[in-house]
């Protein structure tokens, strides 16, 4: 206590220390190490050796798997858009119309986390099945080609990804909407005369930080995902995550896997930076959630 009183500047340092140590040890260090392993050559059987000349690991991996990168971006983008379309009205409803049920509804949004990611995704297999509650009646009524299917198509993969990450979109949008001063909205109603005008000129701009954060928090896990493509897709819907997973766990080609991982991270960080630039939001992290 005496020390702290004499050096008040130490307080933030002490508060930060445990978390910082944890993140440096278990986030930064392993990532640096993995970066190094992307410059290995060799195989599991013969052993690996490091050399900067192995930068070709990157070019080789990129040329072989460019399609998977493109697809990850495409699916991630589509899923983020779907998430937004679902999340914004729901968040708006919870923030402004739900009254006392607000916190209950909000919790229901996070509640899927308490079952199981794998089980929920498998649940989609049941829902989207060829003769499921959705397709079955449509086919029976002759409205849909009997050979039509959702399952094991890009559609199912994108829908699965959107479903799994939509809470990450809803929460930040809700927080930004909820913070808006009601008096401001009333004033806007008077000023712009229509509720649409008020919404467009006041609500939406004030919700932008939440939309921004939500899109990031959705897009990032979406493009790194592999479970949905594995369980709901087919061989031509594989994403970078599927390749990384297989390279790490089945083929055990660690250098390629590491190079693929790093390119994915760089891609995401570049996307985050670009997105921040475009929206003119510097204080990116403080706006998240």
Partner 1 sequence: MSIIRKIAAVAASRFLTIYASLALLYLLLPILTVALFSFNDPIGRSNYSWSSFTIDNWLSLFRDPTLVSAVGISLRIALVSTIIATTIGTLMAMALVRYQFRFRKALDLFVFLPLATPEIVLGASLLTLFVTLRIPLGEITLILAHVMFNVSYVVVTMKARLAGFDMRLEEAAADLGATPWQTFWRVTFPLILPGIAASAVLAFGLSLDDFVITRFNAGQVQTFPVYIYLKVQKGIPPQVNAFATLFFVVTVSLVAIGALLQRRRANLKP
Partner 2 sequence: MSTEKKMEMELDRRTVLKAGAVAGAAAFLAACGTSGASTEPTESTGGATTPSAKINFANWTYYIDVDDGVDTATADTSESLRRFQAEYGTRVNYQEVLLDNDEFFGTIKAPLEAGQDTGWDIVTPTTWMAKKIVDLGWAEKFDKANMPNFVANLADEFKGRAADPNNDYLAPWQSLMTGLGINTKKTTRFTKFSGLWDPKLKGKVVLLTELRDTVGLVMLGNGADPAAPTRPTFDAAIATLQGAIDSGQVRKLASQGYTELLISDSAYAAIAWSGDVGIIKLDKPELDFVVPDEGGMSATDNMLIPKGAKNKYTAELWIDFYYRPEIAAVVEAYVQYICPVKGAAEEIAKIDPALAANPLIFPDAATKSRLKVWGDVSAEDQAYFDEQFSGIVEGVGG
Q: Which residues pair with 40 in a beta bridge?
A: 50
Q: Which of 2, 19, 47, 235 binds partner 1 (CB under 8 A)?
A: 19
Residue 64 binds which of partner 2, partner 1, none (CB < 5-8 A, kind-dependent): partner 2
* Residue 99 touching partner 1 (CB under 8 A): no
* Residue 91 touching partner 2 (CB under 8 A): no
Location of structure tokens 């055990």: 252
List the interface residues with partner 1, window 66-95 (CB under 8 A). 86-87, 89-90, 92-94
Location of structure tokens 């060829």: 130
Using CB under 8 A, which of the segments 76-84, 159-167, 181-189, 233-241 binds partner 2?
A: 233-241
List the interface residues with partner 1, window 136-155 (CB under 8 A). none
CB-wise, 29 or 148, nearer to partner 1? 29
List the interface residues with partner 2, window 47-86 (CB under 8 A). 47-49, 64-65, 67-68
* Residue 233 touching partner 1 (CB under 8 A): no
Report CA Rg, the chain.
23
What's the angle, vertex CA 169, arms to CA 207 and CA 25, rounded to 5?
110
Q: Tell me how far apart the alpha carbons of residues 72 and 78 are, in angstroms, rounded to a whole number.
A: 10
Contact 163, 125 (CB under 8 A): no
CB-wise, 211 or 240, nearer to partner 2? 240
* Residue 251 touching partner 2 (CB under 8 A): yes
Contact 203, 195 (CB under 8 A): no
Q: Tell me how far apart the alpha carbons of residues 134 and 155 are, in angstroms, rounded to a whole number.
A: 14
């Amino acid at each position: 206590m005496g020390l702290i009183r004499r050096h008040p500047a130490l307080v933030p340092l002490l508060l930060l220390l445990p978390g910082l140590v944890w993140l440096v040890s278990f986030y930064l260090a392993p990532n640096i190490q993995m970066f190094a392993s992307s410059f290995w050559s060799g195989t599991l059987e013969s052993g690996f050796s490091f050399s900067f000349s192995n930068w070709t690991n990157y070019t080789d991996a990129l040329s072989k798997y460019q399609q998977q990168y493109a697809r990850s971006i495409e699916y991630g983008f589509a899923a983020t858009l779907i998430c937004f379309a679902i999340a914004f009205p729901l968040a708006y409803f919870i923030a402004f119309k739900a009254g006392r049920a607000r916190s209950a509804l909000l919790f229901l949004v996070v509640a899927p986390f308490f079952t199981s990611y794998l089980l929920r995704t498998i649940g989609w297999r049941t829902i989207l099945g060829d003769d499921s509650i959705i397709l079955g009646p449509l086919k029976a009524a002759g409205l849909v080609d009997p050979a039509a299917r959702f399952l094991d198509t890009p559609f199912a993969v994108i829908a699965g990804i959107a479903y799994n990450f939509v809470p990450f979109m809803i929460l930040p949008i809700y927080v930004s909407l909820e913070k808006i001063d009601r008096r401001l909205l009333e004033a806007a109603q008077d000023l712009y005369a229509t509720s649409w005008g008020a919404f467009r000129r006041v609500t939406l701009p004030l919700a932008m930080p939440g939309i921004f954060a939500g899109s990031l928090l959705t897009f990032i896990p979406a493009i790194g995902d592999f479970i949905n493509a594995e369980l709901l897709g087919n061989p031509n819907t594989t994403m970078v995550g599927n390749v990384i997973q297989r390279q790490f766990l089945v083929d055990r080609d660690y250098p390629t896997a590491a190079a693929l991982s790093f390119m994915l991270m760089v891609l995401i960080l570049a996307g985050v930076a670009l997105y921040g630039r475009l929206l003119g939001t510097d204080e990116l992290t403080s706006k998240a959630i």
